[in-house]
Amino acid sequence: MTDYTTLSNTAVGVGGLPSGATVTALRDNPLSIAEGTSGAPKVQSAALNMAVITSPGVLTGLERVATMLCMASAHQAGEGTTSVRYRRSTDGGSTWTGYTTVVSATLPGGSTNDRTVVATAQISMGPTYNAIEFESGVFFAIGIKGVTP
């Protein structure tokens, strides 16, 4: 990985020639940021057109998003069923489709065990859908890919 160098305001000031170390830092710092070097500033998810949420939650303004990538987990303690579900909207959340189950955990009657299931899913969005709601379960991360100009 490329080293990250913190530059002072005087290192890049007006009216003088920058030192060789300053020029090297100006060359290497963008690389170290992109590589995620320890000590380098981190690129924020907004800059990558990504979002990270936990459910339940609603994301709107997704007109340019082609696909949502998600990792979901459902946990059931004792008998019964639990699931992780989402629904989509074509009008910014005024009306919604029916729910789609990403993953579910079911334990038979009389069970005293716990069960956790994890799944990943690609959820098709654009150009039809522009909002998504995560109703239940736990979403570890949600990334947005395929953002159109």
- CA–CA dist 58, 35 (Å, integer): 31
- Is there a domain that residue 3 lies in? no
Q: Taking residues 40-55, what's their average pLDDT?
A: 65
Which of the two residues, 11 and 96, has the higher pLDDT score?
96
| pLDDT > 90? residue 48 | no
Q: What is the per-residue pLDDT across 97-112, written as a single tens digit (0 to 9) for each?
A: 999 988 888 877 777 7
Residues 22 and 56 reside in one and the same domain: no
Residues 28 and 72 reside in one and the same domain: no
- CA–CA dist 97, 15 (Å, integer): 61
3-class secondary structure, 106: strand
- CA–CA dist 42, 36 (Å, integer): 7
Cβ proximity of 83 and 134 under 8 Å: no
Q: What local confidence, expressed as pLDDT, does residue 98 receive?
A: 94
- CA–CA dist 75, 139 (Å, integer): 12
Residues 104 and 61 reside in one and the same domain: yes
Residues 66 and 130 reside in one and the same domain: yes
Q: What is the per-residue pLDDT across 55-99, written as a single tens digit (0 to 9) for each?
A: 567 888 787 778 887 777 777 788 888 888 889 999 988 999 999
Mean pLDDT for the chain overall:
79
Domain of residue 116, residue span: 46-145
pTM: 0.58
Residues 25 and 91 reside in one and the same domain: no
- Is there a domain that residue 2 lies in? no
CATH code assigned at 137: 2.60.120
Residues 103 and 134 reside in one and the same domain: yes
Residues 93 and 71 reside in one and the same domain: yes
Secondary structure element (H or E) that encloses residue 140, with its range: strand 138-145
- CA–CA dist 73, 69 (Å, integer): 14
Please give the single-letter amino acid code of residue 3.
D
Q: What is the per-residue pLDDT across 17-43, written as a single tens digit (0 to 9) for each?
A: 788 888 888 889 888 988 888 889 887
Residues 87 and 129 reside in one and the same domain: yes
Residues 100 and 35 reside in one and the same domain: no
Q: What local confidence, expressed as pLDDT, does residue 115 receive?
A: 80
Which residues, listed in sequence order, are joined to residue 142 by a DSSP beta bridge? 70
Compute the C-alpha angle 76/79/85, nearest 5°: 40
Residues 137 and 94 reside in one and the same domain: yes
